[in-house]
Every structure is written in C-alpha cells, then in structure tokens.
Amino acid sequence: MHRLRFFLALVLVANAQPVSAAADLLPAALVRIPDSVSSVFVADVSTGRFHRFAYRDGEITDNASVYMSIGQAGAGKQRSGDRRTPIGVYFVTEQLDTARLHEKYGVSAFPLDYPNAWDKRADRSGDGIWVHGVDPDGGKRPKRDTDGCIALPNEELLALIPEFEANVTPVVITRSLSWVAASENDALRQELEDAVAGWADSQVTGDLHAYLKSYDDDFRRWGLSKTEWSTLTARSARQAPDTLTVSDLLLVRYPDDGELYLSRFRLQEVRGSATIEMMKRLYWRRAESGALRIVAENDG
C-alpha cells in the first residue's frame, strides 16, 4: 500500500507547475494550470473585457483582452430566462457552425457547460450559454445586450478560435478580475494538490472512513444528502483499485463564492486487466475547521 500511495503522490508532483512563479502578481482564479491546457479565458464583468491567458512553460501571460457584451440583466444567472450571464467556471463543449443560425451569433459559437454541478447544487436553471460573435451588420453591441451569452466582436473571435478546445478550455466568468501574490498562490496550490491526493489515496488503500471524511456534511449528489450518499457508497464499496492515477490537474479559485475551489483532472483507474479513464470535477469548500471538504462533484 505504501508503494501505491507514493506512486499517486509522484504523479501529482511530476505534473505540478506553479503558474508563473516568477511573477509578483497572478490572476487569483488561476491556481494551477496543467500542460494540457494552453489557454484560459477570463470574462471580467466589471470592465466588460474578455481575457485570454496563455500558459507556456509554467508561465502565464495575458495575451488578449477584448470587448464583450453580456446579458441584458447583468451577471449572476439564477434561472432560465432571466437574461443574466452566469458567474462560475465552465468548459467549452464544442464549436458550432453558425452559417445556419441567426445572424446575431456571428462568425462562430462555442457552447459552455452551464449549468455545472455547482449551479445545480445551488438550484440554478437554464441552458444555452455560449461565447459567440455578433451580427456583422449590427454594429457594436452595448455592454449588456444578450440573453445571457458572451458576445465578442467577430474579428476578435476569429483570432481566438484556435484557442477554444472542446472539453479542455476553461472559461472563468467573474464579477471582477483580481490578483494575488505568487507566494499566496503557491501555498493554496499545494494545499489543494494535497487534498486531491488524499481523496485518491483513500480509495487506493480502501479506507472508506478517510474517503467519506473528504466530503462536507453539506455535500449533495444525485439529489441525495451526505448521509444518504454515504450509506449508498458504503453499500456499494468494492475492492480497492490496483492503481489510481491523477493527471492534468486544473485548480481554480471559484469566482464570487469565497473559499470555494474547483479541481478538474483526468483519473485513470486500473483493476486487474481493466483500465477506466475519465475526467473528474471536485468542488472544495473550506470548513469552519479550516480543512478543505468536497461539497459537489461530477464527471466530465
């Protein structure tokens, strides 16, 4: 068992690269970016700017900042039809051919995976949130002019199209882009890496108590409370996997939610001759004790 725990820790350390450790200040949201993610988009509602942060060789740079239009009712989507743009962390799911769509979508469109597990946990509803272009004959759109989507000028979106990668590229929508010292970012990154490693290690060792302890009392999944979900998990507990590998770990400080963090990673599980691989998301919140606990999760 000790060898398995060491193997798991080694995978995380080998892939760990602080975001631009040489910089004095870093975007607060971007705690850790894996090599598999070359670009992160951050939509700053307060300034109406859509930023592209490029990640290369452990350093992050703001390579683009373009004008954007958001929902007519502003930000903070809660329900279907409220014409608000959601605040949160989302991922591009695909690129749509807008040739057969309404002219208002412009040269291209990229749907986001709103509502995510955290939105559902908070009873937020709605769908159809995209990053898209604008009507080529419509002129510049006002800052608040969509039904909840993010609209970029066509020429700016055309330049950014190569940076949108389905199921890889994160889009962080925040009320205000903030910055933190590199040392603060490093400390938080290490704490979150340790939390993810501990969660995975408890499964390799078959320690159900330690595994369930990773989850907050307020955790919800599939409509079940923490107690109901724990009972179901205990009943369906299987033999521990031979190995569990965590890679491509992305860590994001969640916007507008205080001590809430998203970890998204590739999880490879080996049981005998069978290998299962999936993308996993764990939403962590700091408990009153100071410990990080999982409050929501999903695959993908």
Give the pLDDT of residue 15: 42
pLDDT tens column, 51-63:
999 988 778 888 8
Mean pLDDT rounded to a whole number for the chain: 89
Residues 195 and 214: beta-carbon distance below 8 Å: yes
Strand, coil or helix: 195: helix
pLDDT tens column, 116-138:
999 999 999 999 999 999 999 88
Give the pLDDT of residue 183: 85
Residue 24: inside a domain: no
Give the pLDDT of residue 239: 76
Q: Which residues contact 96 (CB under 8 A, 6 or more apart)?
A: 105, 108, 109, 110, 111, 130
User: CA 158 to CA 205: how far, in whole Å?
Assistant: 49
| CB-count exposure of residue 8 (10 Å: 0-12, 13-18, 19+) | buried
C-alpha count within 13 angstroms, C-beta hemisphere, residue 73: 13
pLDDT tens column, 267-276:
999 988 899 9
Structural domain ending residue among the three candidates 127, 156, 179? 179
- Token pair 């988009």 is at which residue? 41
Task: Tell me: do 155 and 201 sit in the same domain.
Answer: no
Give me the amino acid identity at 78: Q
CB atoms within 10 A of CB 279: 16
Give the pLDDT of residue 225: 86
pTM: 0.90
Q: Which range of residues forms the domain containing residue 289? A: 2-16+180-299
Strand, coil or helix: 167: coil
Encoding tokens for residue 278? 């999936």
Residue 28: inside a domain: no
Q: What is the mean pLDDT of residues 16-38?
A: 74
- Banded pLDDT at 13 (limits 50, 70, 90): very low
- Banded pLDDT at 7 (limits 50, 70, 90): very low
Where residue 55 sits, what CATH number does that domain have? 2.40.440.10
Residue 58: inside a domain: yes
Structural domain ending residue among the three candidates 149, 179, 209? 179
